[in-house]
Amino acid sequence: MGVSFPYGDELAVDFEWHEFTGAVGDSVTVLPIVVAVARLTDLSLAVVLVWFGVFQVVWGLYYAAPLSVEPMKALAALVLAETVTTGEALLAGFGLGVVLLAIGRTRSLGRVSRYIGAPVVRGVQFGVALVLLSTGLELGAGDLPLAGLAVAVAAVALLTRRSNVSALAVLAVGGAVAFSDVGHLSLAVPSVRDAGLFSLDNLSFAVAEAAVAQLAMTVGNAALATSVLLADYFDRDVSADELATSMGAMNLLAVPLGGFPMCHGSGGVAGKYAFGARTAGANVILGVGYVVVALFAADVVAAYPVAMLGVILAIIGLQLARTSLTSLSRADGYPLVVAIGVVGVAVNLGVAFVGGVVAWLAWERWGRAVWDGA
Query: pLDDT tens across 321-366, in order?
Result: 888 887 776 666 788 888 888 888 887 777 888 888 888 888 777 7
Please report whether residue 233 resides in a domain: yes
Asked if 238 and 224 touch (Cβ cutoff 8 Å), the reply is no
pLDDT tens across 6-52, in order? 665 666 788 888 888 888 777 777 888 888 888 888 888 888 999 99
pLDDT of the residue at 166: 82
| 189 located within any domain | no
Note down the domain range covering 179. Answer: 12-184+199-368
The mean per-residue pLDDT over the stretch 185-190 comes to 76
Provide the whole-model pTM: 0.81
Q: How far apart are CA 122 and CA 101, in angstroms?
A: 23
Round to whole Å and give the CA distance between 182 and 300: 6
**Mean pLDDT value of segment 304-319:** 86
Provide φ and ψ at 263, rounded to 5°.
-150, 170
Does 2 map to a domain? no
Q: Tell whether 5 is covered by a domain.
A: no
> How many domains would you assign to the chain?
1
Q: Is residue 311 part of a domain?
A: yes
- Inside any domain, residue 226: yes
With respect to residue 373, please indicate whether it lies within any of the assigned structural domains. no
For residue 355, give the nearest of 206, 204, 213, 208 by alpha carbon. 213
Let me know if residue 1 belongs to a domain. Answer: no
pLDDT given for residue 2 in this prediction: 45
- Averaged pLDDT score across all residues of the chain: 84
Q: Any long-range contacts for 48-52 (C-beta under 8 Å, 24+ apart)?
A: 48/258, 48/259, 48/260, 48/294, 49/290, 49/291, 49/293, 49/294, 50/190, 50/290, 50/291, 50/294, 51/250, 51/254, 51/257, 51/258, 51/259, 51/260, 51/262, 52/259, 52/262, 52/287, 52/290
C-beta separation of 355 from 116 below 8 A: no
How many Å apart are CA 253 and CA 259, to the nearest integer?
9
